[in-house]
């Protein structure tokens, strides 16, 4: 069941967050106080964990990717839709188009696909959060070189 609420994004310490109404968190199942959820911020999908706060509502920490995707900012109201995440969903990161093209060009698609799940996830996560195209290209070149040399511990940066 999806629960919808509006909340103002505020800062506590160095983190951005919102308080989730207790009327919703009371309907969700907590594990050691934490509640795994999936949801949307202004229509942008995310998966997070609601954190318990002593004598206060559960807190949802909002990261920069959520802010950008939800087209919102610190101090603004945002619309949230959340629901219990019953599966331990593994966050998937899309493969950047330029990486796909380079893997095909150098016939390394199979080598990349054969990487174990953890390094592949770390590589894709990093490449998806790189801010400049120059850095993206530099790191893809490094990855391609490692795959060509059949290195055992392929990783970037």
Task: Tell me what the mean pLDDT of segment 139-149 comes to.
Answer: 95
- With a cut of 90, say whether residue 31 has pLDDT above it: no
pLDDT in tens, 87-119: 755 567 899 999 999 999 999 999 999 998 889
CA distance linking residue 114 with residue 60, whole number of Å: 36
Q: Are 42 and 78 a contacting pair, CB within 8 Å?
A: yes
CA distance linking residue 95 with residue 33, whole number of Å: 34
DSSP class of residue 34 equals B
Q: What is the model's pLDDT at position 91? A: 66
CA distance linking residue 155 with residue 139, whole number of Å: 10
Q: Is the pTM of this model over 0.85?
A: no
pLDDT in tens, 53-63: 998 999 999 99
Q: What is the model's pLDDT at position 88? A: 59
Q: What is the model's pLDDT at position 86? A: 81
Which pLDDT band holds residue 135 (cuts at 50, 70, 90)?
A: very high
Domain ranges (residues) in the chain: 3-84, 97-148
pLDDT in tens, 37-85: 999 999 999 999 999 999 899 999 999 999 999 999 999 999 999 999 9
Closest CA to 23 of 5, 8, 49, 45: 5
In CATH terms, the fold of domain 3-84 is: Elongation Factor Tu (Ef-tu); domain 3 (2.40.30)
How remote is the C-alpha of 66 from its chain's centroid? 8
What's the mean per-residue pLDDT of the chain? 92
Closest CA to 60 of 48, 70, 71, 68: 48
DSSP 87-150: S-PPP--PPPHHHHHHHHHTT-HHHHHTS-HHHHHHHHHHHHH---HHHHHHHHHHHHHHHHTT
Q: What is the model's pLDDT at position 156? A: 87
Q: What is the model's pLDDT at position 109? A: 95
């Amino acid at each position: 069941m999806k629960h919808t609420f509006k909340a103002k994004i505020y800062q506590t310490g160095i983190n951005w967050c919102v308080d989730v109404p207790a009327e919703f968190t009371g309907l969700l199942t907590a594990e050691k106080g934490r509640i795994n959820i999936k949801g949307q911020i202004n229509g942008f999908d995310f998966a997070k964990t609601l954190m318990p706060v002593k004598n206060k509502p559960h807190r949802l920490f909002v990261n920069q990717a959520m802010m950008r995707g939800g087209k919102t900012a610190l101090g603004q109201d945002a619309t949230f839709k959340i629901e219990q995440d019953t599966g331990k969903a593994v966050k998937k990161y899309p493969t950047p188009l330029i990486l796909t093209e380079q893997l095909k060009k150098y016939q390394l698609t199979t080598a990349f696909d054969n990487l174990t799940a953890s390094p592949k996830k770390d590589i894709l996560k990093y490449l998806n959060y790189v801010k400049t195209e120059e850095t993206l290209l530099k790191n893809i070149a490094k990855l391609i070189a490692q795959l060509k040399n059949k290195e055992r511990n392929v990783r970037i940066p």
